[in-house]
Amino acid sequence: MPQDSSQLGSAAHYAQSLASPPDSKRISPDTCTQLSLFKDLIREYRKIDDSVTMRLNRTAAQFRERDGRGGNQLDDAACAFFWAQLVANWKGRTEVIHYCAEVVDRAAKEKRDSLLGADIALDGSVDERTRRKLQAEAYAEEVKRNQIHNELGVEQIVRQRSFDAFRARCKFWHPPNTPANSEQIQWWDGENTRRK
């Protein structure tokens, strides 16, 4: 009888978390203006952060088994690999959130300007119904704008939680101070600064 190759439990969760996040270069303004689509995208990006403790536990177990040593500390190669994954994910997610913030800021400004134009038209060329419709659209754009901007605060919390979990397992590791690692060091310093 053929065996089912589907994974269950933490193995399935781990396999899902290894999937690459969406390519941020393929994000369109529609992604930003449709809040459910935006939230689904961010949820995909946050999978690595949601499973950071489990992934670190699994990596520690694999390295303990491989090296035949005890303890929960990861070796430097494992820490460097995992840190590079976190930084790449954080960078992509931050780019998407900032891009979407710009898109919804522009849309909200356009709606406010339309509403202002309707209020200025005192000659009766804009009827009350049109003005109310413009007000409702401006309000809807402002709600989207606030929700996207709130993601920036959520992002800091998610990154800090992941960073704390990472530091608990890689206590003595630090990204090497080389020109090739300048971006990783910036993220490291940024998270350490927020931590204090």
* Whole-structure pTM value: 0.74
- The per-residue pLDDT for range 18-48, each reduced to its tens digit, is 445 556 567 899 999 999 999 999 998 888 8
What pLDDT is stored for residue 195 in this prediction? 61
- The per-residue pLDDT for range 49-62, each reduced to its tens digit, is 888 888 887 877 77
Provide the residue ranges of all domains of the chain, joining segments of one domain with +: 28-189
Torsion, CA 94, CA 95, CA 101, CA 103, rounded to 10: -160
Q: Which two tokens stand for residue 81?
A: 């690999």
Residues of the chain with pLDDT under 70: 1-25, 63, 67-74, 117-126, 194-196
Give 101-110's long-range contacts (Cβ < 8 A, gap of 24+).
101/145, 101/148, 101/149, 101/152, 103/29, 103/32, 103/33, 104/32, 104/33, 104/141, 104/144, 104/145, 104/148, 105/145, 107/33, 107/141, 107/144, 107/145, 108/138, 108/141, 108/142, 108/144, 108/145, 110/141
CB 115 within 8 A of CB 134: yes
Other Cβ atoms less than 10 A from the Cβ of 98: the count is 14
